């Protein structure tokens, strides 16, 4: 079961990939309708998650293409920030299965999980098991036992092939014989899996062997196997041990997922879905230390929406929230993968830009200023002021000093008439400090 993410924004690619990983669905990422159509034609995908706008078309047009190919079993979900009822109705009419809003990542994840559950029920598969056995006669018998449990079984005969499969697909469990075809044994496969990164390194492994040597069994457990079944296999024992291993894995995954959700909630601003000040306090010092260690540039942008108080006062907080979400979306959509967009509080935002020099940071701020100027949330023309500073070549500077400099710059932008970018060099802060001390 594979999903296809069609998303031009790198930030949203990362967010959606994380959601798919948490939902236990493998996903391929493409950026355009043309790439998506080529992937769809391969026939590998049962779930498509597409952006509303694509560089060469739209999510609605892509859904229409899917329906024209008579691929009725493919679920097409479109993500949007668009609130136009007519456009959303047109998307559904074109073949979009569901329209979800980008601002609700938890809703997106829940929808994908519900789809996976329904899909597995419809296709009669509860689990996905990799079975490694080079004796065809034994493989037929054991595979039949596992399939009667309601599992989908992928069978291979060599350790080399098994290692490739493990790195390409997530499995609920691996069942492996000790003696295999090829150069790698079952023991080598266990060692290889345990050296991998991420969730796959924790996949439960059940070993099968005709050897009765107790010390051999202990060795298998010591290198990372979770359990052991002796040959000839007793049906009930194999089913019981494999069921226990997969159940424990699912429980562990569920707890881990809940912890990740709590962590995300703690680090995310719920209105804008940007990172919040708790995330900033935890991550900013790390990024600064990395820049210092590798002698790299790091820039900081402080952004403040102009006249935001009057927006709330004259048009209400609901309109103010719409403005905040619109600005946040501009910031997110124009971030590189390594950039961090944070809502500091109220109408103030921060962009932390690793590997970004003085010129690049000013150009980024000016581009963002122009993009915000194009916005018209709730029918309001809005502008934003930017303060920019840069720590060059891994300078020995702390975050508080970096922020103070950029904050001073945005204050000067406000004083100079708003809707502008002001760059302030860190050395100027030293001059300001010296002047205040002389006074």
Q: What is the pLDDT of residue 215?
A: 81
CATH class of 127-255: alpha beta
Q: What is the pLDDT of residue 83?
A: 65
Q: What is the pLDDT of residue 403?
A: 94
Q: What is the pLDDT of residue 311?
A: 94
For domain 2-123, the CATH architecture is: 3-Layer(aba) Sandwich (3.40)
User: Nearest Cα to 140, choosing from 148, 221, 298?
Assistant: 148
CATH 3.30.70.270 fits 277-438, yes or no: yes
d(CA 235, CA 81): 53
pLDDT along the chain (439 residues), means of 10: 90 88 86 92 87 91 87 83 75 86 84 79 72 94 90 93 91 93 92 90 91 80 92 90 88 78 78 90 90 93 96 93 94 90 94 95 96 92 96 89 95 96 86 43
Q: What is the pLDDT of residue 292?
A: 92
Question: Boundaries of CATH 3.40.50.2300 in the chain?
Answer: 2-123, 127-255
Q: What is the pLDDT of residue 430?
A: 63
Task: Write down the pTM of the prediction.
Answer: 0.51
- Quick one: tokens of 124? 């009669």
- Quick one: tokens of 371? 């993009």
Q: What is the pLDDT of residue 438?
A: 41
Question: Boundaries of CATH 3.30.70.270 in the chain?
Answer: 277-438
């Amino acid at each position: 079961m594979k999903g296809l993410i069609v998303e031009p924004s790198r930030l949203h690619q990362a967010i959606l990939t994380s959601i798919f990983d948490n939902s236990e669905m493998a996903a391929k990422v493409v950026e355009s309708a043309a790439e998506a159509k080529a992937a769809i034609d391969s026939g590998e995908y049962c779930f498509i998650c597409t952006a509303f706008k694509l560089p060469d078309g739209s999510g609605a047009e892509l859904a229409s293409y899917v329906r024209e190919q008579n691929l009725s079993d493919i679920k097409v979900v479109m993500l949007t920030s668009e609130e136009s009822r007519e456009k959303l109705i047109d998307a559904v009419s074109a073949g979009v299965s569901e329209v979800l809003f980008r601002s609700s990542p938890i809703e997106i994840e829940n929808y994908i999980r519900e789809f996976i559950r329904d899909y597995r029920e419809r296709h009669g598969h509860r689990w996905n098991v990799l079975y490694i056995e080079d004796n065809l006669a034994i493989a037929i018998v054991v595979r039949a036992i596992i399939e009667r449990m309601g599992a989908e079984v992928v069978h291979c005969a060599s350790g080399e092939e098994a290692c490739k499969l493990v790195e390409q697909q997530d499995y609920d469990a691996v069942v492996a014989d000790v003696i295999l075809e090829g150069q790698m044994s079952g023991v080598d496969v266990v060692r290889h899996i345990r050296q991998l990164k991420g969730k796959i390194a924790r996949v439960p492994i059940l070993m099968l062997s005709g050897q009765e040597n107790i010390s051999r069994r202990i060795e298998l457990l010591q290198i990372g196997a979770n359990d052991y079944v002796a040959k000839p296999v007793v049906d009930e024992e194999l089913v019981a041990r494999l069921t226990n291993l997969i159940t424990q894995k699912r429980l562990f995954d569920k707890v881990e997922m809940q912890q990740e959700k709590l962590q995300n909630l703690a680090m995310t601003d719920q209105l804008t879905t940007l990172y919040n000040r708790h995330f900033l306090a935890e991550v900013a010092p790390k990024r600064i230390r990395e820049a210092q260690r590798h002698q790299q540039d790091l820039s900081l942008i402080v952004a403040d929406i102009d006249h935001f108080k009057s927006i709330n006062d004259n048009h209400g907080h609901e309109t103010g929230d719409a403005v905040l979400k619109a600005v946040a979306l501009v910031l997110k959509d124009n971030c590189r993968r390594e950039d961090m967009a944070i809502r500091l509080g109220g109408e103030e935002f921060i962009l932390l830009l690793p590997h970004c020099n003085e010129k690049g940071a000013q150009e980024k701020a000016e581009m963002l200023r122009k993009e915000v100027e194009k916005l018209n949330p709730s029918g309001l023309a809005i502008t934003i002021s930017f303060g920019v500073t840069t720590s060059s070549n891994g300078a020995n500077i702390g975050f508080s000093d970096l922020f103070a400099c950029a904050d001073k710059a945005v204050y000067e932008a406000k004083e100079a008439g708003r809707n502008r970018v002001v760059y302030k060099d860190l050395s100027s802060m030293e001059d300001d400090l010296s002047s205040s001390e002389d006074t």
